[in-house]
Amino acid sequence: MALTDRSKRNIANEHPKFADLAKTLKKHKDEVVEKVKVADISQRDIDNTRLKGYSKVDLENAKMMSGNDSLRQKELDKLKKAIKDKTTSKLETTGRFKKD
């Protein structure tokens, strides 16, 4: 009979291979959550709203113009709505571009 360390096991007869599985999965989940892309509006996106014809730009061209790969259609629609309502001065950066 082999002597094994059972201190990390939640169940007495748990296989050693799965003893730390819950901790490993939780750590992996936390890493994945950190890497999830969040749609952001950068200052450059806001500046681009002042360009003539920006309200007719599609998503791919808007991403290219600003260099912001995390821009999504929802945020682009928000920028275009601000142009239409003439409220571009009230727009603020969001997500990773947000200034605290």
Output the pLDDT for position 7: 62
Distances 91 to 18, 34, 72 between C-alpha atoms, Å: 50, 26, 16
Rounded Cα–Cα distance for residues 71 and 96 (Å): 11
Count of domains observed in the chain: 1
Output the pLDDT for position 56: 92
Output the pLDDT for position 77: 92
- Closest CA relative to residue 62, chosen from 52, 76, 41, 51: 76
67, two tokens: 């260099």
Output the pLDDT for position 24: 72
In a domain, 82, yes or no: yes
Q: What is the DSSP letter of 51?
A: S
Q: Where in the sequence is the domain holding 53, given as residue range(s)?
A: 43-97
In a domain, 28, yes or no: no
Helix/strand/coil for 19: coil
Per-residue pLDDT of the chain (100 residues; tens, 9 = 90+): 455 565 665 555 556 666 566 667 666 666 655 555 556 888 888 888 888 898 899 999 999 998 888 888 998 999 999 889 988 888 888 776 666 5
In a domain, 55, yes or no: yes
